[in-house]
A and B are shown apart, each in its own frame.
Chain A
Amino acid sequence: MNRIAVEKKVLNENQILAEQLRERYRENGVLCVNLISSPGSGKTALLERTLERMDKSARVAVLTGDLQTENDARRLAKFGFPVRQITTGGTCHLDARMIGKHLEDWKLENVALEDLDLLIVENVGNLVCPSSYDLGEDAKIVLLSTTEGEDKPLKYPSIFFKSELMLLTKIDLLPYVPFSADLARENARRVHPGMEIIDVSSTTGEGLDRWMDWLKARQEKARLQGVVG
C-alpha cells in the first residue's frame, strides 16, 4: 500500500474557473459582488432599490439565481439594465461554471464584460452552500434581516466569515420585531472581527445612500485596477 500526497482543493475545478472569471473582471475593470442570504432576507428588494438609484447611463448588469422561475429577473428588468436569470433546477448555489456559461450566452444579446463597470450576482437564497463556491467575485456580501434570529452569524459562521460586508436589512421593522440589532452586529463581528456593516431598509430607503457609496467606492477601486492591469 502506497500513500501519496495530493494536497489540492476539493472544489479545485470550480476554483480554476473562478480564478479565470476573476482575471476577466480585473482586465475589464469590472466590480463583481456576490449577494448571499437566507431566502426572504430582501436581496431582490435591495437590488430593485439599488438599480432604481443608478444613473441611467450606469454600466451595470445583474445575474440572479433561483431554483425555479424567472420572477426575479422580471422584477429587476424594469429598471432598464441587463438582467439574466439563472435557474439552477434544484442546485442550492451558483458555481463558477454557471456564471461563465451565462456570461457567454449573454454575448449573444450584446451584453459583454468590457461594456460593464459592475456585475451583481444574486445567489440562490441559502446561507450554507454558496459560501463554498467562489464565483470570482471581488466581494461576498451577506444580508441578514431583522425578521431572522440575531444568532444567525453564529449558526452559519462560514458565510459571515467570508463576507466583506453585512447588510442588516428591513431595519424599518425594528420597532415591531423582537430583534436586537446590537446583538446581531456583535455576533457578526464575533465571527468576523472588523466586518463592515450597513443598516438598510428597502422600504423607507434608510441606509441606501451608504450602500450606494460603498458600491461606488469599490467600483472605483476595480476600475483603477483595470486601468493599471
Chain B
Amino acid sequence: MVPMHELGIASSILESVQKEAVRHPGAHISKVGVKIGELAGVDRDALQFGFEVLVKDTELEPLALELELIPRVQRCSKCAYEFRMTDFDPRCPLCGDLATQCISGEELDIAYMEIDDS
C-alpha cells in the first residue's frame, strides 16, 4: 500500500489490468475505464497523475485511464422521481418530500478495458 489515497487506488486499478492481461496472452490492454461517483472521495486529477507515474517505463505502456464522473442521483421514496442532487439539497423537486434515497454517486468501479489484439 502506498502512502497516498489516489496512488493506492491507481495501483489497485493496475493490479486489475495486470490480472486481465494474463487472460489475453499476446494482446495489449490500451485503455481502462473507471467510474467515479461524486461521493467516492477521489480526486480525479490526483488519480490520473498517480496512474501515469505508476505506468511510466513499465511493460503496461501505453495505457490510458478514462475517468467517468457519476453524479449523485436521488430517488424520491414518495413519488419515485429521480433527480440529480446538487448542493446537498435532498428535497424532491417534484413533490417536495425530504425522504429521498441515494441511488448512485458512490461508485469506484472499473467499467471496461480496451484490448488491442494485433
Contact = CB atoms under 8 A, between A and B. Distances in A.
A90 interface: yes
A107 interface: no
B110 A156 contact: no
Contact of A158 (B40, B98, B109, B110): B40
Contacts of A95: 1
A190 B114 contact: no
A172 B12 CA distance: 43
Interface string B103-118: 0001011111111110
B41 A9 contact: no
Report, as a range, how many residues of chain A touch the other chain.
35 or more
Contacts of A187: 88
Dominant secondary structure of chain B at its interface with chain A? mixed
A108 interface: no
A10 interface: yes
Report, as a range, how many residues of chain B touch the other chain.
35 or more
Interface stretch (A20-28, A75-83, A127-135, A173-181): A127-135
B105 to A, nearest CB: 9
Nearest to B5: A129
A3 B40 contact: no
B115 A5 contact: no
B68 interface: no
B102 interface: yes
A151 B102 CA distance: 21
Nearest to A126: B5
Contacts of A6: 16, 20, 110-113
B99 interface: yes
Interface of B: 1-5, 8-9, 12-13, 15-16, 20, 27, 30, 34, 39-42, 88-90, 98-100, 102, 106, 108-117
